Amino acid sequence: MYLQHFNLKELPFSITPDTSFFMNRAGYQDALNVLLVALRSGEGFVKITGEVGVGKTILCRTLMKTISKEFVTAYIHNPYIKPDSLLFAIADALAVKYTDTTSQHLLMKSITRALLDTHRKGKKVVVCLDEVQAMPVQTLESLRLLTNLETEKRKLLQVILFGQPELDLLLNQPSVRQLKQRITFSYQLLPLNKVAAFAYIRHRLQIAGCSNTGLFTKRACEAIYRHSNGIPRLINILSHKSLICAYGEGMGKITHKHVNLVAPEIEHTKEKSESWLNSLVPAFSRRLFGN
């Protein structure tokens, strides 16, 4: 809707985790470096935690893109997966053939053979699990047993756990203490500070083709940071809706007034969040239909 108006090639603040928008600064690059070091040193379990919306998924996808030539990767985003379904997902990643009647025992043997074959070919296998704080304990235990597969020098399967801070509570349960002991690398993704938040907004605009460095005024960026508390997903939502708001008014810059108008939507005040868009309907009508 507003791309041509602001001379943008694509939407700069989509909440879809597009790796082309990955920002290699602040804590993101540090987290990526931790993951790369852990995987290349052959560690069994790695843990990444962070609040909702801080960028765990885009970090995960950037990692998988970075290591695609060295590793066979399996990405499991369903936290409620059962132990047998987990085996099938890993089997799919390794191109293991099976049928609906294949027993768990035979499937495990087939996965083991595939892991050994992959190792002989000089590649490694990593499983990335998202939202692990909601994963059944039985599934985590079956995952731990899988990581027992190893040669004399290295693990045949490595695992990265991505989750919200509640993941630490799950790992403190006595039933998963053996898994917790195997986590040798961990990193906590934090919300962006003010400087990083400003850089984040500029970075995404630049990737989207924006040549206007003053598209968002300083006070607009400050308002976005204040309302989002540095959470990247909320920064995206606020920035996107502010662009819509400015477009509807025919403005060439996003000001703090635009941000403050749309901010109630993410602050759960439904009545106000509906009014900001409704107030722009006449302006949209004039811009789109010329009446």
**According to the model, what pLDDT value does residue 161 have?**
95
Q: What is the mean pLDDT of residues 86-103?
A: 89
- Per-residue CA distances from 57 to 168, 172, 176, 252 (Å): 18, 24, 24, 32
pLDDT 10s digits, 163-179: 999 999 999 999 888 88
Mean pLDDT of 281-291: 51
pLDDT attached to residue 175: 87
Q: How far apart are CA 251 and CA 228, in angstroms?
A: 23
Q: Is the pLDDT of residue 279 over 60?
A: no
Helix (H) or strand (E) holding 225: helix 218-228
What is the residue type of 168? D
Closest to 36 in 3D by CA, of 67, 73, 71, 10: 67
The candidate with the shortest Cα–Cα distance to 251, out of 206, 225, 220, 208, is 220
Phi/psi of residue 102, nearest 5 degrees: -65, 130
Confidence of residue 269 (pLDDT cuts 50, 70, 90): very low
Domain segments of the chain as ranges: 42-189, 192-289
- For domain 42-189, give the CATH number: 3.40.50.300
Q: Both tokens of residue 147?
A: 């990581």
| Per-residue pLDDT at 290 | 54
Q: How confident is the model at residue 152 (pLDDT cuts 50, 70, 90)?
A: low
Instruction: State whether residue 231 is helix, strand or coil.
Output: coil
DSSP state of 155: B
34 pLDDT higher than 70: yes
Averaged pLDDT, 56-74: 93
Alpha helices (H) along 67-214: 83-93, 104-120, 137-146, 166-171, 177-181, 194-207
Structure token digits, residue 281: 């309907």
Q: Which pLDDT score, from 0 to 100, does residue 44 have?
A: 81
Q: What is residue 240's predicted lDDT score, i.e. its pLDDT?
A: 96
Instruction: State the average pLDDT for the chain.
Output: 88
pLDDT tens per residue, range 242-262? 999 999 899 999 999 999 999
